[in-house]
Amino acid sequence: MFLGKILAALLVLGVLILVHEFGHFLMAKRMGVRVNEFAVGMGPRLFRFGKGETVYSVRAIPIGGFCAMEGEDEGAPTPAAIGGPGEDAPAPDASRSFATKPVWRRVLIVVAGAVMNLLLGYVLLLVYYGFLQTPYDDTGTVLFATTTIARIEADAPAYQSGLRAGDTIVEVNGRRILMDSDLSMEMQNDTDGVLDMVVRRPTDNGTEKVELSSVAFSLLTNEQTGRQYIKYDFSLLGVPRTFGNTFVQAAKQEVSVATIVWRSLVDILRGRYGLNDLSGPVGTVDIIADAVGDARSLQGWQTLVMLMVMITVNLGVFNLLPLPALDGGRLVFLLWEGVTRKPVPAKYEGVIHLAGLVLLLLLMLVVTYSDITKFFV
């Protein structure tokens, strides 16, 4: 049973990574770039198939895959070097090399992987809000939470600080609030129970923007960890689900998740989170395995789908960071070439990407070690 959950978790993670490479593959074909190999999995090749210019292979390690394009890197493998399909493979054609394509075509190919991850996230959110979302009211209607205060007690500290029923929260501590998950994150990360808010308050003529400084909330203490957290002394208004607002809700949630990913990366750089707060491949597989094991109930499916959304959006956002060895790093070089009309010499770009890859692998090893030690704590 445990092994089955781990294999299922590897499959889920592998599919999410493979979707990224499939985006590069589709766009490369669309832009007229020859794809030498499209691989499912990593490591030693188990078998291959296909005719013509592209090798389709399955590899031993069931995580991710890759899309090897003609001329993508200096010294990239040729179809013969990677074991091409056979004599029917056409001879190399410089006009179909990645390196010879106009900058805008290469940019589209590079960003296509991240776009595919974000598109998958949106589709999963449509499934979540269209089929898995709860709760229901007394009539069985599915409700989407808004950021509008439905009820707040008159003796609550937040009410005495100026918050009122009918207020729509649009900012907390200077950060935009798009939906209830944004509000939850800001309130969960607060340590003193005092927030600066901006709300839109209904008036006789419409709404007005009201700034509320030092909105106070009661604090509760977790007996196990000793950590204090805000007590919610208000409830949010829910709106019935419709065909149209399901698409809107999914789009807003995707923006919210991407924002959370970005803010988390910034918080890591600022030192707000330590090594123990990060999860590498081992930790991620363990989390997914738990979610897969619970996917026998509606709540379990909700957890699994939202976890997949977090991971695929994370992959999309992270890969666009301007760091060597990532798609964002390649994008920087392409933008430089587009502006200056002169590409960075391939040998220098290769060295920079190799250095970035080494650093990323070292970070992965450190985080993986941290993941493993957590099992024994």
340 and 250 belong to one structural domain: yes
333 and 358 belong to one structural domain: yes
Query: How do residues 182-239 score in pLDDT, each as one tens digit?
Result: 898 888 888 788 999 999 999 988 899 999 999 999 888 877 777 788 888 899 998 9
What is each CA distance from 312 to 118, 180, 352, in whole angstroms? 7, 21, 26
Q: Is residue 64 part of a domain?
A: no
Q: In 3D, which of 161, 221, 166, 153 has the Cα closest to residue 191?
A: 221
Q: Residue 203 contacts by C-beta under 8 Å, 6 or more apart in sequence?
A: none
Query: How do residues 142-188 score in pLDDT, each as one tens digit?
Result: 889 899 999 999 999 999 999 999 999 999 999 899 999 889 888 88
How far apart (Å, rounded) are the C-alpha atoms in residues 245 and 345? 49
Residue range 345-355: mean pLDDT, rounded: 86
Tokens (6 digits) for 176: 């935009």
pLDDT of residue 262: 81
Write down the pTM of the prediction: 0.83
Given CA atoms 130, 133, 137, 139 in this order, what sign does their dihedral have?
positive
Please give the single-letter amino acid code of residue 161.
S
124 and 146 belong to one structural domain: no
Q: Is residue 53 part of a domain?
A: no
Q: In 3D, which of 236, 124, 107 has the Cα closest to residue 177?
A: 236
Q: Is residue 43 part of a domain?
A: no
**Contact (Cβ atoms closer than 8 angstroms) between residue 220 and residue 228:** yes
pLDDT of residue 288: 66
Residue range 317-323: mean pLDDT, rounded: 89
Q: Which of 190, 208, 240 is the last residue of a domain?
A: 240
Residue range 18-45: mean pLDDT, rounded: 91
Query: How do residues 266-313 score in pLDDT, each as one tens digit?
Result: 777 777 666 566 665 556 666 666 666 666 777 788 888 888 898 899
**Contact (Cβ atoms closer than 8 angstroms) between residue 169 and residue 244:** no
Return the minimum-mean-pLDDT range out of 251-265, 267-281, 310-324. Answer: 267-281
Q: Is residue 138 part of a domain?
A: yes
314 φ, ψ (degrees, to nearest 5):
-60, -45
Q: For residue 337, give its domain range.
A: 103-131+242-377
Q: Is residue 355 part of a domain?
A: yes
221 and 365 belong to one structural domain: no
Tokens (6 digits) for 156: 């609550």
Q: Position of tokens 């009122």?
A: 164
pLDDT of residue 248: 95
Q: Which of 204, 220, 240 is the last residue of a domain?
A: 240
336 and 355 belong to one structural domain: yes
Is 50 exceeded by the pLDDT of residue 109? yes
pLDDT of residue 121: 95
Tokens (6 digits) for 136: 């229901």
Q: Is residue 57 part of a domain?
A: no
pLDDT of residue 87: 45
**What confidence category does residue 316 fall into, taking pLDDT thresholds of 50, 70 and 90?**
very high
281 and 145 belong to one structural domain: no
* Three-state SS sequence of 315-374: HHHHHCCCCCCCHHHHHHHHHHHHHHCCCCCHHHHHHHHHHHHHHHHHHHHHHHHHHHHH
**Contact (Cβ atoms closer than 8 angstroms) between residue 24 and residue 113:** yes
50 φ, ψ (degrees, to nearest 5):
110, 160
176 and 290 belong to one structural domain: no
Residue 168 is part of a domain; what is its CATH number? 2.30.42.10
pLDDT of residue 292: 67
**What number of H helices and E strands is found in the chain?**
9, 10
**Contact (Cβ atoms closer than 8 angstroms) between residue 171 and residue 198:** yes
Q: At what angle do helices 103-127 and 243-269 cross, to 10 degrees?
A: 120
126 and 258 belong to one structural domain: yes
Phi/psi class of residue 207: alpha, beta or left (left: φ > 0; alpha: ψ in -120 to 50)? beta
Number of structural domains in the chain: 2
Q: Is residue 3 part of a domain?
A: no
Query: How do residues 72-83 score in pLDDT, each as one tens digit?
Result: 865 444 443 344
**What confidence category does residue 340 fall into, taking pLDDT thresholds of 50, 70 and 90?**
very high
pLDDT of residue 75: 42
115 and 152 belong to one structural domain: no
Count CA atoms closer than 13 A to 371's CA, side-chain side: 16
Phi/psi class of residue 240: alpha, beta or left (left: φ > 0; alpha: ψ in -120 to 50)? beta
Q: Is residue 7 part of a domain?
A: no
124 and 140 belong to one structural domain: no
Return the minimum-mean-pLDDT range out of 45-49, 89-93, 214-218. Answer: 89-93
235 and 318 belong to one structural domain: no
213 and 234 belong to one structural domain: yes
Q: Which of 207, 240, 273 is the last residue of a domain?
A: 240
